A = this chain, B = another copy of it.
């Protein structure tokens, strides 16, 4: 037996016991004829004392950082106790020890904070994982998974595994594919999600399904996206939206209580998609702070009289003008305001500039466009925005979509600067009543300007009262008409996102379960009957044999763990992540195959690799 106890286990009550420990050398300190060694394992650190004869042996076989050793001896009370360590009351007086494995000096320090750069730590991930923050992260991840399973098991959900080698259906993101050796020139795809399988399981009568499951998307990786990621995937039969929201906010309350000891509100607040877009500028509001967007002018419609024919072209010609009121920021220096102006002009935000109005402590108002803003207008503006003395009003103007997005980003940025986004505070929210369709100008159907794409996915049901609107109208957007006036633009879905602290952590919908409606949906999205049959024939077929009403949700597990861990970086919560180029630098993968393997798979390498 290599050890009788772990390095986190021994206490004062163990004094006098003969024990054996094994672990990694964290630190070595020499004091004359004594050596103190901190021995580490995942459970903690115990101090070893080498004295007299054994210390001499140690001099002949010196230890080093990260050596793996085994030590036997007696537990003794420390004279110099360490109150920061659970084992700090005792130490092990070593009588025998053995080096189980030596270690080269690690390329970076294995401590709470390390001196290693990102690339080095990715290459030596197995060493980085020894560091306490990553040990804690993976422990947290494991605890979240346990809490999720505990709740869903309790609620009668069945964990059912769905296949990974499935059929490629080029809808949504790109598939990763797998050439079949046994079926030449044919390919499997890796699932982007088990969506169709969980719906088939509902058709099979499984009623309440869940799975914590890997999913794959071959997308161009933005920061903090991974080509493989984990989803908590759930589906229920005989439910309406209300049932789904009830069950899954219950799950999240359970997880937060179990893992963080935090009670989330019951029920979660809800907000319609329209309201979220109007007040927060996006569909995932961060509710840790207010600072709502002020819609001064939207799509040329004036809401705030202060903007009526100011004579300032930027405002008068803008499609949309929005403001936010930053509390207590009237005292911002010119330099600070200039910096904000630069911030909104960055390519990621892309605005032309930033106007501001200072609401000074004495009640006076001072704007960056006094030439156009008369005192009356300023007063109107202040009143409309409900700004108080001491506040700073920031104003953005431009095209609707860009301006709203910029205002949303500016709101978050000001939240950061004012310290209003604490990682210890958690504000959950359901966003509901999403539009069923989104307009895409990149693709078109014949005779249509742009086309409709599914906002959630093609299996989401329209709200029952909007079905007629979909069935009775053509999806074509005629040249010369605004897509916003198309009947499809008004169709809402029973789709819902769970948002925490401005991050979408889950999303789902009530599904279509009738073949004719599903076919109509495919048509609306521009799939021909033949394409629909080829790609989703099995699902359409299944709907003919008694499909129950059903709906579900999927949570981004990596993201959820990151939020619970107070981090923005999902990579820190994945044991072996890929870098931003989709590479595993530790393994050096992907890598070339040899010719024999390619031949067996009936594929060859394309010469024109640099073309695309």
Contacts and interface: CB of A to CB of B under 8 A. Distances in A.
Contacts of A141: 160-161
Interface SS of chain A: helix, strand, loop or mixed? loop
B180 A159 contact: no
B590 A183 contact: yes
Interface stretch (A368-376, A481-489, A593-601): A593-601
B178 A546 contact: no
| Copies of this protein, total | 2
A126 B542 contact: yes
B590 A66 contact: no
A187 interface: yes
A160 to B, nearest CB: 5
Contact of A606 (B106, B180, B183, B599): B599
A32 interface: no
Contacts of A332: none
A53 interface: no
Contact of A214 (B66, B100, B161, B183): B161
Contacts of A175: 597
Interface stretch (A197-205, A350-358, A401-409, A521-529): A197-205
A574 B189 CA distance: 19
B591 A186 contact: yes
A175 B230 CA distance: 22
B576 A163 contact: yes
A129 B218 CA distance: 32
Contacts of A188: 176, 589-590
A63 to B, nearest CB: 11
B201 A575 contact: yes
A60 interface: no
Nearest to A610: B184
B587 A538 contact: yes
Given A174-B181, A243-B1, A546-B66, A593 B126 contact: no
Interface stretch (A165-173, A257-265, A424-432): A165-173
Interface in A145-197: 145-146, 149, 153, 158-168, 170, 174-190, 197
Nearest to A160: B575
Interface in A555-584: 574-576, 578, 581-584
A586 interface: yes
A36 interface: no
A130 B205 contact: yes
A197 B576 contact: yes
A515 B599 CA distance: 34
Given A127-B545, A130-B204, A187-B592, A162 B605 contact: no
B228 A177 contact: no
Contacts of A112: none
A587 B159 CA distance: 21
A170 B228 CA distance: 23
B100 A161 contact: no
Contacts of A338: none
Contacts of A612: 599-600, 602
A441 interface: no
Contact of A161 (B190, B227, B230, B606): B230
Nearest to A159: B142
B586 A514 contact: no
Nearest to A134: B204
A103 interface: yes
26 contacts: A2-B549, A3-B238, A42-B206, A101-B513, A102-B546, A125-B200, A126-B204, A126-B542, A126-B545, A129-B204, A135-B205, A146-B153, A160-B575, A163-B584, A164-B228, A165-B589, A168-B593, A176-B188, A177-B593, A178-B590, A180-B582, A183-B582, A538-B586, A538-B587, A538-B588, A604-B606
* Nearest 7 pairs of A and B residues by beta carbon: A103-B546, A129-B204, A167-B589, A2-B238, A186-B590, A66-B546, A180-B590
Interface of A: 1-3, 22, 24, 40-43, 66-68, 100-104, 106, 124-127, 129-130, 135, 138-139, 141-142, 145-146, 149, 153, 158-168, 170, 174-190, 197, 200-201, 203-207, 214, 216, 218, 220-221, 227-228, 230, 238-240, 243, 513-514, 537-538, 541-549, 574-576, 578, 581-584, 586-594, 597-606, 608-609, 612
